[in-house]
Amino acid sequence: MAYENIIFDVTDGVATITFNRPKALNAINGQLLDELASALDEIEADEQVRVLVLTGAGEKSFVAGADISELATFNTLQGKLFSRKGQLIFSRLQDLAIPVIAAVNGFALGGGSEIALASDFIYAAETATFGLPEITLGIIPGFGGTQRLARLIGINRAKEMIFTGAMVPAPEAEKIGLVNRVFPKDKLMEETYKTAKGIAKKGKVSLREAKKSVNNGMNVEIGIGFQIEADAFGICMASPDAKEGTGAFLEKRKAEFKGSLLG
């Protein structure tokens, strides 16, 4: 489809979705959510895509929350439906078979932080700012923030951020485990793509099974988690990439992973 609120690109196995409403600081509205869902459809249909990078257009913002002009018109039912729509799309992002990196280049507020939280990990510019300021509008995070943030940084820190609506600069976000790494702003995308391209050279099946094992094992008893891991390990062993990887090691050469998700 033709995109108006995002820019979608695929290069060398790395897909990039750039949130592109710079005049509104890339704020989320219903149309942007629809376009994000369509881009995820394209990624799921393209086996050549190995990694997804998310970032924001312009100098100031990754995603500065929901579009308040749209939000202010909602009644109870519309608010619930909008929340569920965002939750379902961000859950698709979290469950995507490939790794997802959020490259946060500026404000990641409200829904922007929630998009980043649904990614596999977060790189941030040193000028980036995170926060869930919904409480200052008389509402709460509605796209999964109350659930994912506590699981990532702990319940007490999550409550503090949500109850106060405080802004958290990138260096502090790194200290509390919200952000993986912080870079100078002019180095953010270079470093993000360096990591993304390195991941894209790994085996498709092993990447998928590693992500599934971690995600599916997070909220189950550890014995069940071990079984999830063992099942995934077995699937990996059946893939051409496992034969290539082990063969390359024994032959003292660099592995070239070309296997398919289909075998």
Cβ-based burial of 221 (10 A; exposed 0-12, middle 13-18, buried ≥19)? exposed
Catalytic residue among 44, 70, 114, 229: 114
Cα Rg of the chain, angstroms = 19
For residue 148, the SS3 value is helix
Please check whether residue 260 is in contact with residue 204, taking contact to mean a CB–CB distance below 8 angstroms. Answer: yes
Please check whether residue 246 is in contact with residue 206, taking contact to mean a CB–CB distance below 8 angstroms. Answer: no
What residues form DSSP beta bridges with 123?
Answer: 103, 181
User: How far is it, in rounded angstroms, from Cα 182 to Cα 2?
Assistant: 33
Does residue 190 have an active-site annotation? no
User: How far is it, in rounded angstroms, from Cα 149 to Cα 166?
Assistant: 14
Please check whether residue 152 is in contact with residue 144, taking contact to mean a CB–CB distance below 8 angstroms. Answer: no
Please report the DSSP string for 161-222 in residue order: HHHH---EEHHHHHHTTS-SEEE-GGGHHHHHHHHHHHHHTS-HHHHHHHHHHHHHHTTS-H
Does residue 44 have an active-site annotation? no
Catalytic residue among 35, 134, 174, 209: 134
Q: Which residues are catalytic?
A: 114, 134
